[in-house]
Amino acid sequence: MTTYASFAAAVGNTPLLRLRHASEATGCEILGKAEFLNPGGSVKDRTALGLLEDAERQGLLRPGATLVEGTAGNTGIGLALLGASRGYRTLVVMPDTQSREKIDALHVAGAQVRLVPVVPFTDPGHYARTARRLAEEMNATDPGSAWFANQFDNTANRDWHEAHTGREIWEQTSGQIDGFVCAAGTGGTIAGVGRALKRHRPDIRIALADPAGSIFARYVQTGELVGEGSSISEGIGNSRITANFEGAPIDVAYSIPDDESVPVLHDLLRREGYCVGGSSGVNVAGALRLARELGPGHTIVTVLCDGGMRYQAKLFNPDFLRSKGIPVPTWLDEAFPAAADR
């Protein structure tokens, strides 16, 4: 009998799923790392665990302390659940544009949630800056009472993915991997996994899949800090270069528009039964592009970051999708006939 002693012990070691339709369409083996099977429901359980374990090793957390983070949601969910299992409280600062489903999940997980307007990172009211300020204020009143996780610039994030996620992918593929494709928000996953895989075989292609509006793809391609357009994807893309992203060993970068990525995630659900979020659609769209560049016979791994029901009101809402100019599949209209009739 196999058992796990705690929430933390169940994080990671997720399976690789063969994406049948994408594989057959390209002649490559396209595999998705099923991160939605982590106990908190997303790849960010790994980030939360890496940050928390590093802080505990450094003695930065006292019993009953408050974990403070600025997040689009999933890192906060991971921290709240890990915190509950270890006796910590959690305070999350979140942009008010994020899905209602994630906000509700944070409340259910026991986090205190503060929603703030979306502003540039240079603005003191930015969600990450607000989280840092709140932690500093708590510590000024009661030293040691709060810890700011700082997922974007705390490189314990990248280091954990290098030591664990990258190692898992190498072992699961028995080293038979030609490419890895991933979006970036903090940059921890693509930088950490990329470093781990390149250490084994420098010729493995590391590809960034970036949503429209983010600066990462243009930065990799030209060095310019410019983003164009916008995306409904949550938790990926950025307007600045983070400490975790800096130096990531990326060979190629794709800018993926919503009208390319969202149909991919709809197909994953309808054809293969995988209900995944917007970042997964971006990732698989990127994997399809890389497969076509490399040609048949290659093995490409990407990340299925979280479940689609955390974004149901956007990704599976015909009216919302039409308002953004995103194609609506017939089956989705049939699932919500009232929306189609309006």
How many angstroms separate the CA atoms of 163 and 158, rounded?
9
Domains of the chain from N-terminus onward: 7-38+166-324 (3.40.50.1100), 43-148 (3.40.50.1100)
- In one-letter notation, the amino acid at residue 199 is R
Question: Are 33 and 196 a contacting pair, CB within 8 Å?
Answer: no
DSSP 306: B
- Lowest mean pLDDT segment, chosen from 94-98, 242-246, 285-289: 94-98
How many angstroms separate the CA atoms of 11 and 163, rounded?
14
* C-alpha torsion sign, points 233, 234, 238, 244: negative
What integer is the mean pLDDT of 215-230? 94
Structure tokens at 188: 């921890």
Question: Are 79 and 54 a contacting pair, CB within 8 Å?
Answer: no
Structure tokens at 324: 């953004």
At 80 the pLDDT is 97
Q: Radius of gyration (Cα) for the chain, nearest Å?
A: 19
pLDDT reading at 250 higher than 70: yes
Q: Give 100-121 pLDDT, tens digit per residue.
A: 999 999 999 999 999 999 999 9
How many angstroms separate the CA atoms of 231 and 95, rounded?
15
DSSP 263: H
- In one-letter notation, the amino acid at residue 42 is S
How many angstroms separate the CA atoms of 193 and 196, rounded?
5
Q: How far is CA 156 from CA 145, 153, 170, 196, 238, in A?
A: 21, 9, 20, 14, 19
Structure tokens at 246: 């800096």
User: Which DSSP string corresponds to 57-71?
Assistant: HTT---TTPEEEEE-
- Looking at the chain, the whole-number percentage of residues with pLDDT higher than 70 is 99
pLDDT reading at 341 higher than 80: no
DSSP 235: S
* Residues labelled as active-site residues: 44
Q: Give 259-283 pLDDT, tens digit per residue.
A: 999 999 999 999 999 999 999 999 9
- Residue listed under structure tokens 């960034």: 208
Structure tokens at 269: 């659900």
pTM check: above 0.85: yes
